[in-house]
Amino acid sequence: MNREIILRMLPLVRRDRIVMLCVDTDIAVEAASWDEAKLKMRDALVSYFRTFSEAEIERGDYARPSPLLFRIRWKVRWFAVRTLHLVEQLKSLRANYDPLHNLVRFA
């Protein structure tokens, strides 16, 4: 499997903490900074994807959508960013997982 998997991220600020939720896998992390949140999410996603075989990943068995409210929030933010033509900020709300190398790269 050589294709990257696009994962949607929903970052939230709660009580001076960063909460980052992967909308496609329902994995959430909490951290004191953006860099720490990205690192924790990267580690969590790599660990999560390592539990699946290549065939399971190909079939999409990893997909575990978050609750509807969070998926709607992500879509509303995505639409707002597109409407305002802020493509650079939209990129910061996505991550790509490379199953061949077990790497997560934030776009």
Distance CA 100, CA 39 (A): 19
CATH of the domain at 41: 3.30.160
Inside any domain, residue 24: yes
Inside any domain, residue 107: no
pTM, two decimal places? 0.72
Side-chain half-sphere exposure of 68, counting CA atoms within 13 A = 0
pLDDT tier at 88, thresholds 50, 70, 90: low
Inside any domain, residue 75: yes
Overall number of domains in the chain: 1
Structural domain boundaries, residue 25: 5-102
CA distances from 18 to 21, 38, 50, 67, 81 (A): 10, 10, 25, 19, 20
- pLDDT digits over 51-79, tens only? 999 999 999 999 999 999 989 998 898 88
Name the helix (H) or strand (E) containing 65: none
Inside any domain, residue 46: yes
Asked if residue 54 lies in contact with residue 70, where contact means CB atoms within 8 angstroms, the answer is no
Inside any domain, residue 56: yes
